[in-house]
Structure formats: C-alpha cells, structure tokens
Amino acid sequence: MTLIAILISLILERMVESMRAFRRFDWFDQYTDKLLGWTQDRKLGGSSRVLLVMAVPVIAVILINMLFHDVWFGLPSLAFSILVLFICLGPKDLDGQIDRFLEAWQAGDESTARAAAADLLEGTPPESLQELQQALVEKTLLAGNDRLLAPIFWFTVFSVMGSGPLGVVLYRLAYHLNKRFADNASPFSEAARRLHDILAWLPAHMVALAFAMAGSFVDAFHAWRECRQAWRDDWQAGVEGPVLAGGLGALQLHDLADDEEVTADDVQDRVSAAKGLVLRALVISVVLIALLTLFGGLR
C-alpha cells in the first residue's frame, strides 16, 4: 500500500491542479500562534513549546491511523495515506514553476521569466546571469529534496512501522515551522530549526545518493568528498550541504560558482538539467520503494 499511496499522490501532484488548494497550512499557523500566546507567560523553553505545537496534529494522525487500521481491507487507511501525503508534498508545483521560467526565458520574455524566477526563489532574482543560474540550479535541487524526496522518504520509513502519514506530517510541519520562524531569533525558532535539521539530515544524505545514481556518480562522489569538511564538524550544516554537493556533482557543475562566462543558453540548459536530475532521482526512489515492496516486505 505504501507504493500505491506514493504513486497515486504523485499522479495527483502532476495532474490535478485544483487539489493543490488544499495544501494550505493557515490552520496550523493560527493554532501555533494561539498556543504560543497561551504559553508565553508559562516559562516554557523553546523545545517544550515546539513539542506542544507538534503534539496535537501528531496525536490526531496517530488516532486516525489507528481508527482506520484493518478496516474494510485497508481501503480507508490507503485513502488517508494518499490524502496526507499529497497535502504534505509541495506546497507549490516545482515542475510548473521551473517550466514557466524556462518557457519565458526561451521566448526572450525576460520580465515574465524573472517573475517566474522570483516565485521559485521566493525573493528577488539576482541580476547577473551567473548568480541567477547558480540560484535557480541550487533552488531546484533543494526544493526537489524539501518538497518531494524528503517527504516520500519519511512516509516510506514510517510505513515500515505502520504509519506512513505520521512520518510525512512530522517532516512537513517541522519544515513549515522552521521556514515560518527562520527570521525570528528566539528560543522557539532555534528549537524549530533544530527539529527540522534532525528530520532533514538523513533524507538529505539519501537524496544526495539518489542524485549521484541519477547523474555522474564519480563527479558526485568527488564533490561530496571535497565539500564534506564544511559540515563534518557541524551536523546542522549537513542538511543542505550534501544535497547541493551531490546534485551539483552529479550535474558536473560543482564549480558553478566560479563560472564567469555564462550565457542565456547556459542558464536554460543548466536549469533544465537540474530539473531533469530531480525527476530521475524521484523515479529511482520510487523504483527502490517498489523493489522493497516486492522483496523486502514493505507493505
């Protein structure tokens, strides 16, 4: 059922645009704000407040999963898994964002292309071609991990323990908290970042391996060895670092930051290549899950 849930969720992700409106976490933001206000004067540490924020959604998922367990041949449980995984992917359509940029860029519509780049980068795109290229390629690799590969990883891991939805909800809510409070220097924001980094560390390394398998394995391994020292003594730095090292190495672009002679065609080709690498890594991940389902006892 794990494989079926992943496949149906990915099909919905690519084909049913109207359902993406359900990927809103306004309810979680309102709940978080109320809980933080309630605990403000209760002398709780940042970690305790993060755990309280996560507790209610996590307990709800556990209870629903228990309620649906072995009911009607597992069909309600499958439907619940599909719904939760679909909601926790994204929230935006990465392929669509990249395609809008590439189509406008190829057509020479720079204003539309830069608007699409701003949407993908969630900020003002750099002016120079070299910086724009680097920002878009790196964002594509990181977003492929954050929006698709890492959620599927935790869904699969927790499926072995009987609750795939719990794993993907834990990751998505931790990611959401970290992103929302990233610019807020407080014990709560630091605890949220630490929780996200704990949950993101292992899938980041697995995704780097998937990138290597989907591209140039030798170059990815070489880039990994060169960059590994940067996060060797700081495990929290080992979240984005492996993804970028593995992805850029697999694309044979580990010296992207030093590339000074960049043309518009280079930007088009390298962003397209990064998109293709994420897609191939996703396919490899699904194939490995299928093999685990067939031969490894994954449900």
Q: According to the model, what pLDDT value does residue 239 have? A: 83
Domain that holds residue 11: 2-295
Q: According to the model, what pLDDT value does residue 86 have? A: 92
CA distances from 210 to 126, 215, 221, 280 (A): 29, 9, 12, 8
**Angle value at C-alpha 9, between 104 and 157, nearest 5 degrees:** 115
- Residues 264, 242: Cα–Cα separation, whole Å: 28
pTM reported for the whole predicted model: 0.92
- Residues 163, 158: Cα–Cα separation, whole Å: 5
- Residues 238, 255: Cα–Cα separation, whole Å: 19
Q: According to the model, what pLDDT value does residue 24 have? A: 82
Number of domains forming the structure of the chain: 1
Q: According to the model, what pLDDT value does residue 235 have? A: 67
- Residues 8, 195: Cα–Cα separation, whole Å: 29
**Mind listing the pLDDT tens digit of every residue in the chain (299 residues)?**
788 999 999 988 877 766 777 778 888 899 998 988 888 777 778 889 999 999 999 999 989 888 877 777 668 888 899 999 999 998 888 999 999 999 999 998 989 999 999 999 998 999 888 999 999 999 999 999 999 999 999 999 998 877 889 999 999 999 999 998 988 888 889 999 999 999 999 999 999 999 999 999 998 888 878 777 776 667 667 788 889 999 999 998 877 766 678 888 889 999 999 999 999 999 999 999 988 887 766 66
For residues 193 and 224, the answer to whether their CB atoms sit within 8 Å is: no
Q: According to the model, what pLDDT value does residue 12 have? A: 86
